[in-house]
Amino acid sequence: MLRPEEVEMLVCGCPTLDMDELRKVTVYDGFHEEEPIIKLPISHTCFNQLVLPRYKNRDILREKLTIAISNAEGFGLE
């Protein structure tokens, strides 16, 4: 059996976030910590909006957009 504090932790998560500990366990796949832009494009289908981070060139944009499209999940995708 779990104690009430343990159940609360499972349901609600930790009330504090230690950024130093988070940095220690963060794994960057294909990027490094100092990478200026590690975000992928984001779409807001309800507003017909595509948010594109500022990439250095079109080749990087194409690569990131392809990754985002290839790994997308959500309604309307089959």
pLDDT at res. 75: 61
> For 43-77, what is each residue's pLDDT tens digit?
887 888 888 888 889 998 899 889 888 887 766 55
Q: Is 14 a catalytic residue?
A: no
> For 5-50, what is each residue's pLDDT tens digit?
888 888 888 778 888 888 888 887 776 777 666 678 888 878 888 8
Which position among 46, 48, 54, 78 bears the catalytic label? 46
Alpha helical stretches, state H, the chain: 4-12, 19-25, 58-70
Show the tokens assigned to 69: 């499209």
pLDDT at res. 58: 93
